[in-house]
Structure 1
Amino acid sequence: MKYRKLGNSGLKVSEIGLGSWLTYGKAVNDHTAHDCIHRAYELGINFFDTANAYEEGKAEIVLGEALQRYERSSYVVATKLFFPMGQGPNERGLSRKHIIEQCDASLKRLGLDYIDLYQCHRFDPEVPMEETLYALDDLVRQGKILYAGVSEWSAAQIEKAVGIRKDLHLRPIISNQPIYNMLERYIEEDVLQVSNENGMGQVVFSPLAQGVLTGKYKPNAEKPSDSRAANDSTNFVINSYLRNDVLQCVEKLNTLATDLDLSLSQLSLAWILSHEGISSAIIGASRPQQIEENVKAVDIELSKETLQEIDEILEEIKGFAPLR
């Protein structure tokens, strides 16, 4: 495994991280989830991502249980907050009340004394940004979190937060967690540049486009019965990828990967890691074998010619934006 600094901070995270969205506490039983987490750790992954809203806290519980056997200093846990955790008017968003209460709740579910990276899962237009940033800074001062980050914030929102932080002399935001893969590239427009300029690293999710960039889905073909696309509880995030033109493009990428003696997932991850400002690509896994295959991407260095060929293939679906 290889490690990169998270933005301009001193925190080092594995180039491949393991996430728990739509898997742990949901589609994958707890025993298998623990096996995946243990195998990831054995392979050198030290960055584990979750969120309070993933199955109403169940994913945090599963992750915390699995990590209990390891020395606390040897891994980095990231969790998030924003989405509703109850029916009350204050049980959502980025108010000081919700941030403080949900941090305590996440610590309890994870079974930890502190959270390494605490992230705002989305931007909250209803709360003054100063209130959110002060609350995060106070959590750092209290030792409940070590670093703060955001997820899926726009370039303008990031710039505003950086300006407020500097004016108020608050601790920096060190990360952004956006979706990023060969098919969904909006952060290249301005988010990457703004983040790089302000010392924020990207810990990207869905690097394999929910499995589309493994080559398992074919144009004009039925969805594999054991796939996320065939599962009614998880297919809402993948179906918009399953256009014939997109899948035809994926087939060309798969052919290129085969010519390079790589799997498509390895090619896709190596492509992401070739971009400046990327600290970690967060994979999902329902079997340990998937992790074993994907971590090999850290040793792959794509040539300029290969990167150019990838760009030419992706040009065929330029502007593609999945429905969210």
Structure 2
Amino acid sequence: MSLSELRTLGRTGALISPLTLGTLNFGTGSAPSGAEDSVRIVHAALDAGITSIDTADIYSQGEAEAIVGQALHGRRDEVFLSTKFHGQMGPNPAHAGNSRRWIMKAVEGSLQRLQTDRIDLYQAHRPDYNTDVLETITALNDLIRQGKILYYGTSVFTPSQLVEAQWIATTNHLIPPVVDQVPYSLLVRANERDVFAITQQYNLGVLSYGPLDGGWLAGNYRVGAPQPASSRASAVPGRFDVSAPYNRDKLLAAEALARLAERHGLTLIQLAVGFALNHPSVSSVIIGPRTEEHLVDYLKAADVVLEDAVLDAIDEIVAPGTNFLERDAGTVVPHLEFAELRRR
């Protein structure tokens, strides 16, 4: 496998590189990479053969999109460009969600920041439990007809929501979603239970993110090692605390996986990215380098081919379908999160 071996994105016919450059770390908000460094990362990724970039309006409140737009000046046609809507932009709570009203405003902001006349893939960043799904799908179909987006998709939708979106679109003679974006890694495998089966059934493209599980698979989370520093620790309290009892099994798994990688002459990053790329449902793996050096590490992983014996050993360490924490799924089902919904 190499970056030159492009993959078809589900049933779209569009070809993209097996690695997608993610931009969560771009900007000055909660992200560490400044504009100049981020532009260099984009250019280095394109020069190395990456043809797909994923961003979102919410990343550093629009800064990430603006940086991508700047970096793609003169190179827009080299890239399959995806961005997302849903998260709240600015202080106004009405500037969020999956309603027609917000989608029509959000897309204009993204187009302007990205300095482009069309978005290749426009994704609902999260489900919106306050908006009728048909309203969202109809609005996105209108944007396709207007030429402002070419395809649309979802992110971390539940299995039932994925099926519902396909059913609502087809029964109303509308274009259905063609891509789903999900977390997937050696330590986050719950989507193997049902989501991947559904994406295969409907021939949906899959963009998987978090191959290093927020840093758990970067190589620093080892038994007996000091607590690694994490810029994400404050965003998800406890998720990265190696002393927490609920993280004990995850830490032991990360240790075992690191040892497995060493036995096979691989870095843990190479093992992690190679694993995500290996799943037949995955169209492209989103990587999120913070520096050009991090990008080089990811690029090396694109050439890794894991033998069946290695994949079997991985399954013995982390059983298929396993998530160690509920929040590793990328979203929380409201009926589990909010007591008032469980106790009505």
Partner in structure 2 of residue 191 of structure 1: 195
Q: 1:3 to 1:239 in 2, by over 3 A?
A: farther
Of 67, 85, 102 in structure 1, the residue corresponding to residue 106 of structure 2 is 102
Partner in structure 1 of residue 11 of structure 2: 8
Of 40, 43, 51 in structure 2, the residue corresponding to residue 46 of structure 1 is 51
Partner in structure 2 of residue 160 of structure 1: 164
Could you tell which deviates more after superposition, 19-28 or 261-270?
A: 19-28
With the length of structure 1 as denominator, give the TM-score of the two structures.
Answer: 0.92
Question: Retained in 2: the 8 A contact 1:246–1:317?
Answer: no
Partner in structure 2 of residue 138 of structure 1: 142
Of 115, 118, 132 in structure 1, the residue corresponding to residue 119 of structure 2 is 115
Deviations 1:228-254 (A, max 9, x none): x1x3x6643484144343222212211
Give distance in 1, aligned partners of 2:157 and 2:48: 31
Alignment size in residue pairs: 318
Deviation at 1:217, TM superposition (A): 2.2
Partner in structure 2 of residue 59 of structure 1: 64
- Aligned: 1:29 with 2:34: yes
Q: 1:244 to 1:219 in 2, by over 3 A?
A: farther
5 Å matches for 1:206-245? 206-224=210-228, 227=229, 229=230, 231=231, 235-237=234-236, 239-241=238-240, 242=242, 243-245=247-249
Which aligned runs of 4 or more in structure 1 are off by greater than 4 angstroms? 316-319
Q: 1:318 to 1:134 in 2, by over 3 A?
A: closer
Give distance in 2, aligned partners of 1:207 and 1:92: 28
For 1:50, the aligned partner's letter is T
Deviation at 1:317, TM superposition (A): 11
Unaligned stretches of 5+ in structure 2?
Answer: 329-344
RMSD: 1.9
For 1:14, the aligned partner's letter is S
Give distance in 2, aligned partners of 1:56 and 1:199: 33
With the length of structure 2 as denominator, give the TM-score of the two structures.
Answer: 0.87
- Percent identity of the aligned residues? 34
Question: Retained in 2: the 8 A contact 1:38–1:66?
Answer: yes
- Aligned: 1:68 with 2:67: no
